[in-house]
Structure 1
């Protein structure tokens, strides 16, 4: 990733210390945070208050915002503080719990600032279904919503999707039958 790729962009990362690393700062979220910061993004970590989240924030130069992802008021504060500090939200890597509330506030912020990308880690089938429904609902709005399966290359895929320069054209939406991107005239 070249450093200029994400310069001027702001990314929220949720679950940075608790996904496939369980409080160690070595999971998918930690790796994605390091790569996004290295690519020049302003990274905002949804911090759980553990030592690992504070250490990760210091390591990557991220802003850590204490957030309980199961609490909509806390999630709203996370997004509001992000907008207050950086003026925009360009991408989000949702790698923990509370996806519905988190996405709702991220989408609202992205609509106000001209679009963006959301990448959810598919920890459960429900997350896949929620992501697909949100992607269909917001197709053509400039907000692209994807899911990534857990695995050894998950962090790399999350970063690539967050950094992708072009959004899909408005006439391209996910095909509900097989999950592939396809023109709407099919």
Structure 2
């Protein structure tokens, strides 16, 4: 994944932090997006200390203009957006994917993976709907659920595998 850039929305803890670390270890530059929290800054510092590229980006994903600025910042720092992992509720997911898809189309394509929460809030159906709408485009959209996996690291490995697979990205 060297030379690729990822946004991880919900990167502060748990699955999002594990996905951030896994993508970084695979060689991607990572923009860590979550509510302001010292854990977010510490995660970015840890990735950089290990030789990776990471930027902490405190953001309120409920604010569409903040999500737009997050994507713009990613493009400003890394020049591209290849991967997005979203761990957010369905309403915020609509906004996140709208800006992510637009950026990926401009930079040549990409792959979005959404985490389906245990308590369904429409993320799975929304992901299916948007994936169908963009089928055959330069943006691939998938979902993962933590249910079949035993740990956050296993979910992270599945995300890296999906994003490493051949496709339009």
TM range (shorter): 0.7 to 0.9
**Residue number in structure 2 paired with 1:109:** 103
Superposed CA offset, 1:32-65 (max 9, x none)? 1111111110000113111111111111121011
**Which of structures 1 and 2 has the larger relative contact order (alpha carbons within 8 angstroms, sep 6+)?**
2
1:153-177 residue CA offsets vs partner (Å, 9 max, x unmatched)? 322211211222x116xxxxxxxxx
Indicate yes or no: 2:124 matched with 1:128. yes
Residue of structure 2 aligned with 1:9, choices 4, 11, 16: 4
Render the CA deviation track for 1:89-139: whole Å, top value 9, x for unaligned. Answer: 001011133111000000000011111000000112500011001100001
Contact 1:89–1:116 (CA<8 Å) still a contact in 2? yes
2:141 corresponds to: 145
TM-score, normalised via structure 1 length = 0.79
Q: 1:174 maps to which residue? A: none
CA radius of gyration, larger in: 1
CA distance in 2, matches of 1:115, 1:108: 9
Q: Distance in 2 between matches of 1:47 and 1:120?
A: 15
Aligned-CA RMSD value? 1.3
In the alignment of these two chains, the number of paired residues is 154
Look up the SS of the partner of 1:68 in the other structure: coil
Aligned pairs for 1:18-29 (under 5 A) are 25=13, 27-29=14-16
* 1:100 pairs with one of 76, 79, 94: 94
Aligned partner of 1:118 among 112, 116, 129: 112
Question: Would you identify which runs of 4 or more consecutive aligned residues in structure 1 move more than 6 Å?
Answer: none
Structure 1 gap segments, 5+ residues each: 1-5, 18-24, 169-186
- Match for residue 24 of structure 2 among 37, 60, 64: 37
* Contact kept in structure 2, 1:93 and 1:162, CA below 8 Å: no
Partners in 2 of 1:108 and 1:90 — Cα distance? Answer: 11
